[in-house]
Amino acid sequence: MKQPPHIAIAGATGAVGIEMLNCLAEQKVPYSQLTLLASARSAGKVVEFQGKELVVKELTADAFEGVDIALFSAGGSISLEFAPHAAAAGAIVIDNSSAFRMDPEVPLVVPEINPEAAKTTPKGIIANPNCTTIISLMALAPLHRAFGLKSIIASSYQAVSGSGAAGIVELDSQIQALANGGEIKKEVYPHQIASNVIPQVDVFLEGGYTKEEQKMLNESRKILGLPELNVTCTCVRVPVHRSHSVSISAQFEKPVTVEAAQAVYGEATPGVQLCDDPSTGLYPTPLDTSGKDDCLVGRMRMDQVLPNALALWVVGDQVKKGAALNAVQIAKLLLE
């Protein structure tokens, strides 16, 4: 990997693409050239970045000549079509979609957890995990290293921005309609999201779980290298703009106490902070993490059903750490 690299962002005008740009600046990632790619509809738009005006180009199969790192956040079908072209042109692709996550020849990477996986890229592609998986494992991986993770029972509380800008628009328009007695329009979600929660994120699969819930199982096993890890998950959409929250009961191989678990978090666990003093009202909320890099973990207590198990609550910005920042951190790994 030459230094500084030529970096391209595919899907540069979307919410995660824009956040990737911000993260490149915040993380001080060096680059010799920055190419912004998007659909033909967005081609020609001008994006201001670090005092420069960058013109968005159309994403095509031959758009990656000379590119060293290609950050993709344009959806699974686009990644399947164009990521192989980028890799064939010599770029390392960091893909934010689900297209390649379970490919055995594609590493699935969270830099704070399994950075060594990024060293081997047979297909020239590295996958970014699902946002809910990233946020959950940021809290669980340090505990796994200390006590040996055995099982996960989780329920997620997922913000509407996980559905893109349209999710935010639908929530806000429904709130306004409720206040003014207007029509409740449902286009993004199958039910009203304002003043409601919807226990469905993504489509249902055979067996009753959704794709989002199944990702937690499959991706956690791959990232942690625990092919027998037991995971069950219920993913719920809530009327929150940004940041996902996850309630977790985690069972461990070794005996665990709340005090020992809390002591795990510190300087040796970058990217996650303990926020846990309920007696003073200190515990994580979505507003605490929105726009922030780190995930927060709190409400830590002994599980009252499972032996050697903890109940905990973890919150993180799914647009940032759950997507854009994680991808940019992987790019930084490639430059080290």
Active-site positions?
131, 244
Closest CA to 39 of 74, 66, 68: 74
Contacts of 336 (CB under 8 A, 6+ apart): none
Q: Which residues sit in the known binding site for substrate? A: 158, 237
Question: Which stretches of the chain are DSSP H helices?
Answer: 15-26, 76-88, 131-147, 165-180, 211-224, 258-264, 286-289, 325-335
95 CA to centre of own chain: 11
Residue appearing with tokens 């779980």:
209
Query: 3-state DSSP call for residue 118?
Result: helix
Separation between Cα atoms, residue 295 and residue 48, nearest integer Å: 29
DSSP conformation letters of 14-70: SHHHHHHHHHHHHTT---SEEEEEE-TTTTT-EEEETTEEEE-EE--TTTTTT-SEE
Q: Which residues sit in the known binding site? A: 13-16, 41-42, 101, 158, 161-162, 237, 318
Helix (H) and strand (E) counts in the chain: 8, 14
Q: Which residues sit in the known binding site for NADP(+)? A: 13-16, 41-42, 161-162, 318
Backbone phi and psi for residue 18, each to the nearest 5 degrees, phi listed first = -65, -40
User: In this structure, are strands 309-316 and 295-302 parallel, antiparallel, or unpaired?
Assistant: antiparallel
Degrees to nearest 5, angle at CA 239 with 98 and 282? 95
Separation between Cα atoms, residue 162 and residue 238, nearest integer Å: 10
Query: 3-state DSSP call for residue 153?
Result: strand
